[in-house]
C-alpha cells in the first residue's frame, strides 16, 4: 500500500503530462488525419475505393500528380545546386562582406512565401517593373519572357527554398576536418579527388536532409502555383478547388495521394540519410577559408557577390517601395509616380483594414503558445526520459512534418466537422479557433526539434546535481532545465510565430469572416488592384519577423 501511495505521489504529475501530450497529439494530429483517410473511402454503401478509381481514371488528375512530383524533384535539384554553391561560396572562400552576404542569404526564411510571390509578380510578371523596363529598353512588342507556369513557380521556389541547402551545407562545411584534407594532399590526392573523397562524404548527410525538406515544401507549395501557376496544376491547388466546390471526398483523396508521395520520399531519403551518417573520429581542425589571390578571379567573385546581393534585395526593396504607392494612382503607367503614407494610415485607422493584421498576430501568438505548452514537455520526454512509448510519441510529433499545409487544413475540416471527444464534443469548423489550431499543428515538429537540440546539449549531470542538492522534479525543471534551454525554446517560438504570421495555404482553406488573416487580405488587395495596401501589409510582417529574428539572434549570444 505504502508503495502505491508513494508511486502515485511521485509520479502523478508525470502521468498527467504523459496523458495530456498523447491526448493533444492524437486529438489534433492523428484523429483528423485518420478522418481524412476514412473520408476518402467512405460512400453511401460503406467503405470503397471508388473515389480513388475515379481519380485515377481521369487523365487530368494523373497529370496533376505527375506535375506535383515533377515540381518537387525540380525544386530539389535547382535549390540543391544554388544552395550548395552559395554555401561553398560563403564558407569556403575568404572575402570581405562574407558575413553580410551570409546574413542576407538567410533572409528568405524570414519572409512569408506569399509576400515573395507577390513581390516577384510585381517585378517579373506581365506588367512587372523589370519586365516593363526590358521592354522599354529594347523596344519590344511582346513580353521578353513568360513568368508563369512551371518555370515561374520553379523560379520562386529557387528563391525561397535554397535556404535549406544553404544552411545545412554551411553547417556541415564547418564539420570538415581540415587535417583530413591535408592528409589527402600528403597522400597525393588531386583537388577533384579531395572533393569526392573527403569533402563530399562530409556534406552528403546535409544534402540528404535538405533534399527531404525541399521536396516536402516543393510538393506542398501553394502560394506560387496558386498565384502564377495558370495551366500548371498541382495537388495543393486542386485540393483548394475541390474543397471550395464542397467535394470533400475528392479533396480527401488528393490529400491522401499528396501525403503518400511525401511519405515515400521521406522514407527513402531518411533511409539514405541514416546510411550516410558518419561520426567524426577525433576533434578536427576547422577549415580555413581559402584566399583568392588572382585579381581576375577576385573581380569575378566580387561581381558575383554584387549580383547575389541585388537579387536578394530587389524583391524586398520592391515591397517597401510599392507600399508607399498612393491608392488608385498606379493603373496604366509603367512606373508608379505618387507616393505617400496613405496605405499605412488606412491600415491603422480603418478597423476593417486593420482586422487582418490583428487576426494574424493574435492567431499566431495562440498557435505559438500552444506549441510551447505541448512542444517543451514532448521534447523533454523524447530526449531526456526512458519513457517506454517515446518512440510512438516521436512519430506523432514529426507526423505534421510529412503533411503539407493543405493536408493539415483538410484534416482539420474532416476531424472537426462533427462533434468529437477530444474537443469536448464541439464542432470547430466555422469557428475562429480552427485556423490557429491548424497553425499550431503545423509548427509542432519545429518546436519539438529546436527544443530537442537544446535539451541534447543539456548535460544530464546538471539534472542529477540539482536532485542531489534537494530539488524536486518541478524545481529542477523550473530553475535548471528551462533557463538553460530557453534560447532554444525562444528560437523555436520565434520561428514558429514567423511561419504562422504570414501563412497562406491553410489560411486559404480555413479562414472565415471572423478570422481573415493578413496573407488573405494581401492577395485580395492584389486582385482588387490595391497593390500599395497589399505591400504595406507585407512590410508590416517583414518588420515584425525581422525584429523577432534579431531578438532571437541576440539571445543566442
Identify each DSSP E strand in 207-357 by its residue range: 290-291
Residue 444 in grid coordinates: 509542432
Other Cβ atoms closer than 10 A to 339: 15
Is 466 an interacting residue with respect to another protein (CB under 8 A)? Answer: yes
- Helix pair 200-220, 235-244: axis angle to 10 deg: 20
Stretch that binds another protein, among 169-177, 409-417, 478-486, 541-549 (CB under 8 A): 478-486
Q: Which of residues 168-197 bind another protein (CB under 8 A)?
A: none
**Cβ 487 to another protein shortest distance, Å:** 10
Is 283 an interacting residue with respect to another protein (CB under 8 A)? Answer: no
Residue 36 in grid coordinates: 481524412
Is 244 an interacting residue with respect to another protein (CB under 8 A)? Answer: no
Helix (H, G, I), strand (E, B) or coil at 330: coil
- Give the residue with the Cβ less far from another protein, 30 or 471: 471
Please report which helix (H) or strand (E) contains residue 207, including its range: helix 200-220
Q: Which of residues 70-109 bind another protein (CB under 8 A)?
A: none
Stretch that binds another protein, among 73-81, 207-215, 358-366, 471-479 (CB under 8 A): 471-479
Is 471 an interacting residue with respect to another protein (CB under 8 A)? Answer: yes
- Give the residue with the Cβ less far from another protein, 292 or 471: 471
- Give the residue with the Cβ less far from another protein, 426 or 459: 459
Give the list of residues 6+ apart from residue 478 with CB closer than 8 angstroms, or none: none
Residue with cell 507526423: 399
Contact string (CB under 8 A) for another protein, positions 339-358, x = contact: --------------------
Stretch that binds another protein, among 269-277, 413-421, 466-474, 504-512 (CB under 8 A): 466-474
Is 333 an interacting residue with respect to another protein (CB under 8 A)? Answer: no
Is 418 an interacting residue with respect to another protein (CB under 8 A)? Answer: no
Is 464 an interacting residue with respect to another protein (CB under 8 A)? Answer: yes
Please report which helix (H) or strand (E) contains residue 509, including its range: helix 505-510
Stretch that binds another protein, among 183-191, 223-231, 285-293, 460-468 (CB under 8 A): 460-468
- Give the residue with the Cβ less far from another protein, 99 or 456: 456
How far, CA to CA in Å, does 533 sit from each of 163, 515, 525?
A: 28, 19, 7
Task: State which of residues 139, 461, 513, 557 lies at the interface with another protein (CB under 8 A).
Answer: 461
**Cβ 478 to another protein shortest distance, Å:** 11
Please report which helix (H) or strand (E) contains residue 12, including its range: helix 2-25
Asked whether the beta carbons of 39 and 248 are under 8 A apart, the reply is yes
Is 468 an interacting residue with respect to another protein (CB under 8 A)? Answer: yes
Residue 336 in grid coordinates: 508608379
Is 472 an interacting residue with respect to another protein (CB under 8 A)? Answer: yes
- Give the residue with the Cβ less far from another protein, 197 or 459: 459
**Cβ 461 to another protein shortest distance, Å:** 4
Is 453 an interacting residue with respect to another protein (CB under 8 A)? Answer: no
Residue 154 in grid coordinates: 520553379
How far, CA to CA in Å, does 214 sit from each of 75, 77, 311, 401?
A: 7, 9, 21, 12
Is 456 an interacting residue with respect to another protein (CB under 8 A)? Answer: no
**Cβ 554 to another protein shortest distance, Å:** 17
Give the list of residues 6+ apart from residue 328 with CB closer than 8 angstroms, or none: none
Give the list of residues 6+ apart from residue 426 with CB closer than 8 angstroms, or none: 419
**Cβ 9 to another protein shortest distance, Å:** 10
Task: State which of residues 281, 349, 483, 513 lies at the interface with another protein (CB under 8 A).
Answer: 483
- Give the residue with the Cβ less far from another protein, 295 or 470: 470
- Give the residue with the Cβ less far from another protein, 114 or 491: 491
Helix (H, G, I), strand (E, B) or coil at 123: helix
CA Rg, the chain, in Å?
25
How far is residue 109's CA from residue 502's CA, in Å, rounded to a whole number?
12
User: What CA dihedral angle connects 485, 486, 492 and 494, to 10 degrees?
Assistant: -160
How far, CA to CA in Å, does 486 sit from each of 21, 310, 356, 461?
A: 20, 36, 31, 18
- Give the residue with the Cβ less far from another protein, 96 or 470: 470
**Cβ 385 to another protein shortest distance, Å:** 14
Asked whether the beta carbons of 545 and 110 are under 8 A apart, the reply is yes
- Give the residue with the Cβ less far from another protein, 480 or 525: 480
Can you list the pairs that 57-60 forms with residues at least 24 positions away whose Cβ atoms lie under 8 Å? Answer: 60/233
- Give the residue with the Cβ less far from another protein, 385 or 475: 475
Is 6 an interacting residue with respect to another protein (CB under 8 A)? Answer: yes
Asked whether the beta carbons of 222 and 172 are under 8 A apart, the reply is no
Could you tell me how many residues of this chain bind another protein (CB under 8 A)?
A: 20
How far is residue 410's CA from residue 417's CA, in Å, rounded to a whole number?
11
Is 469 an interacting residue with respect to another protein (CB under 8 A)? Answer: yes
Is 484 an interacting residue with respect to another protein (CB under 8 A)? Answer: yes
Is 38 an interacting residue with respect to another protein (CB under 8 A)? Answer: no
Identify each DSSP E strand in 89-164 by its residue range: 93-94
Task: State which of residues 467, 477, 546, 552 lies at the interface with another protein (CB under 8 A).
Answer: 467
- Give the residue with the Cβ less far from another protein, 427 or 465: 465
Helix (H, G, I), strand (E, B) or coil at 202: helix
How far, CA to CA in Å, does 33 sit from each of 28, 238, 263, 399?
A: 9, 18, 14, 10
**Cβ 6 to another protein shortest distance, Å:** 7
The residues pairing with 234 across neighbouring beta strands, listed in sequence order, are: none
Q: Which residues bind another protein (CB under 8 A)?
A: 3, 6, 10, 459, 461-462, 464-472, 475, 479-480, 483-484
Amino acid at each position: 500500500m505504502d508503495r502505491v501511495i508513494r508511486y502515485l505521489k511521485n509520479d502523478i504529475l508525470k502521468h498527467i503530462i504523459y496523458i495530456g501530450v498523447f491526448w493533444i497529439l492524437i486529438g489534433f494530429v492523428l484523429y483528423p488525419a485518420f478522418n481524412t483517410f476514412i473520408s476518402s473511402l467512405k460512400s453511401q454503401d460503406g467503405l470503397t475505393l471508388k473515389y480513388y478509381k475515379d481519380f485515377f481514371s481521369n487523365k487530368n488528375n494523373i497529370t496533376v500528380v505527375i506535375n506535383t512530383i515533377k515540381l518537387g524533384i525540380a525544386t530539389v535539384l535547382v535549390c540543391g545546386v544554388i544552395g550548395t554553391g552559395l554555401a561553398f561560396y560563403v564558407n569556403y572562400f575568404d572575402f570581405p562582406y562574407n558575413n553580410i552576404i551570409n546574413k542576407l542569404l538567410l533572409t528568405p526564411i524570414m519572409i512569408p512565401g506569399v509576400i515573395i510571390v507577390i513581390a516577384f509578380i510585381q517585378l517579373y510578371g506581365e506588367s512587372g517593373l523589370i519586365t516593363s523596363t526590358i521592354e522599354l529598353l529594347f523596344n519590344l512588342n511582346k513580353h521578353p519572357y513568360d513568368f508563369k507556369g512551371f518555370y515561374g513557380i520553379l523560379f520562386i521556389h529557387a528563391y525561397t527554398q535554397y535556404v535549406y541547402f544553404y544552411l545545412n551545407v554551411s553547417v556541415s562545411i564547418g564539420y570538415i576536418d581540415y587535417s583530413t584534407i591535408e592528409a589527402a594532399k600528403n597522400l597525393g590526392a588531386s583537388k577533384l579527388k579531395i572533393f569526392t573523397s573527403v569533402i563530399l562524404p562530409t556534406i552528403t548527410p546535409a544534402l540528404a536532409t535538405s533534399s527531404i525538406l525541399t521536396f516536402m515544401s516543393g510538393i506542398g507549395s501553394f502560394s506560387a502555383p496558386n498565384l502564377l501557376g495558370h495551366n500548371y496544376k498541382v495537388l495543393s491547388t486542386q485540393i483548394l478547388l475541390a474543397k471550395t466546390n464542397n467535394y470533400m471526398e475528392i479533396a480527401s483523396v488528393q490529400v491522401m495521394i499528396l501525403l503518400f508521395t511525401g511519405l515515400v520520399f521521406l522514407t527513402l531519403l531518411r533511409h539514405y540519410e541514416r546510411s550516410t551518417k558518419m561520426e567524426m573520429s577525433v576533434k578536427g581542425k576547422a577549415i580555413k577559408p581559402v584566399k583568392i589571390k588572382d585579381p581576375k578571379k577576385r573581380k569575378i567573385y566580387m561581381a558575383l557577390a554584387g549580383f547575389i546581393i541585388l537579387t536578394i534585395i530587389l524583391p524586398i526593396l520592391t515591397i517597401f517601395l510599392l507600399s508607399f504607392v498612393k491608392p488608385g494612382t498606379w493603373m496604366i503607367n509603367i512606373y508608379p509616380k505618387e507616393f505617400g503614407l496613405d496605405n499605412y494610415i488606412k491600415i491603422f485607422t480603418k478597423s476593417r483594414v486593420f482586422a487582418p493584421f490583428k487576426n494574424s498576430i493574435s492567431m499566431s501568438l495562440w498557435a505559438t503558445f500552444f506549441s510551447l505548452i505541448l512542444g517543451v514537455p514532448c521534447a523533454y520526454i523524447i530526449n531526456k526520459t526512458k519513457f517506454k512509448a517515446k518512440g510512438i510519441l516521436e512519430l506523432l510529433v514529426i507526423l505534421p512534418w510529412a503533411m503539407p499545409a493543405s493536408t493539415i487544413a483538410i484534416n482539420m475540416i474532416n476531424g472537426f466537422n462533427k462533434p468529437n471527444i477530444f474537443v469536448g464534443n464541439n464542432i470547430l469548423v466555422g469557428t475562429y479557433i480552427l485556423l490557429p489550431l491548424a497553425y499550431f499543428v503545423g509548427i509542432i515538429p519545429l518546436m519539438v526539434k529546436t527544443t530537442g537540440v537544446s535539451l541534447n546539449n543539456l548535460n544530464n549531470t546538471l539534472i542529477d546535481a540539482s536532485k542531489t542538492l534537494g530539488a524536486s522534479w518541478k524545481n529542477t525543471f523550473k530553475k535548471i532545465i528551462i533557463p538553460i534551454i530557453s534560447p532554444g525554446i525562444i528560437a523555436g517560438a520565434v520561428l514558429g510565430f514567423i511561419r504562422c504570421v504570414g501563412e497562406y495555404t491553410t489560411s486559404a482553406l480555413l479562414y472565415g469572416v471572423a478570422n481573415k488573416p493578413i496573407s488573405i487580405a494581401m492577395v485580395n488587395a492584389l486582385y482588387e488592384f490595391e497593390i500599395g495596401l497589399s505591400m504595406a501589409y507585407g512590410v508590416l510582417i517583414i518588420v515584425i519577423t525581422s525584429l523577432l529574428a534579431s531578438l532571437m539572434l541576440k539571445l543566442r549570444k
